[in-house]
Amino acid sequence: MRVDGQIITDSHASIDRFMRVELDGQVLQQTERAIYLMLHKPVGYLSATSDAQHPTVLDLIDDPDKATLHLAGRLDRNTSGLVLLTNDGRWSKRITEATEKIPKVYLVETLDTIPAEAIAAFAQGFYFHTEGITTLPAELKIIGERQARLTLYEGRYHQIKRMFHRLNNRVTKLHRESIGGITLPDDLEPGQWRMLSDAEKLSCRNTGIPACE
Ligand code: URA
Q: Which domains does the chain have, with CATH numbers?
A: 1-32 (no CATH), 36-98+180-201 (3.30.70.580), 103-179 (3.30.70.1560)
- The one-letter amino acid at 157: Y
Distance 154 CA to ligand 1 centre (A): 11
Annotated catalytic residue 24: no
| Catalytic position from the list 51, 59, 63, 76 | 76
For the Cβ of 170 lying below 6 angstroms from any atom of ligand 1, the answer is no
Residues 6 or more apart whose CB falls under 8 angstroms from that of 159 comprise 135, 152
Distance 93 CA to ligand 1 centre (A): 19
Is pTM beyond 0.75 here?
yes
Whole-angstrom Cα distance, residue 174 to residue 111? 12
For the Cβ of 154 lying below 6 angstroms from any atom of ligand 1, the answer is no
For the Cβ of 105 lying below 6 angstroms from any atom of ligand 1, the answer is no
- The one-letter amino acid at 61: I
Strand, helix or coil for residue 190: coil
pLDDT tens track of the chain, all 213 residues? 888 888 998 888 888 888 888 888 888 877 788 999 999 999 999 999 999 999 999 999 999 999 999 999 999 999 999 999 999 999 999 999 878 889 999 999 999 999 999 999 999 999 999 999 999 999 999 999 999 999 999 999 999 999 999 999 999 999 999 999 999 999 999 999 999 999 999 886 544 444 444
Distance 203 CA to ligand 1 centre (A): 23
Whole-angstrom Cα distance, residue 136 to residue 130? 16
Whole-angstrom Cα distance, residue 106 to residue 113? 17
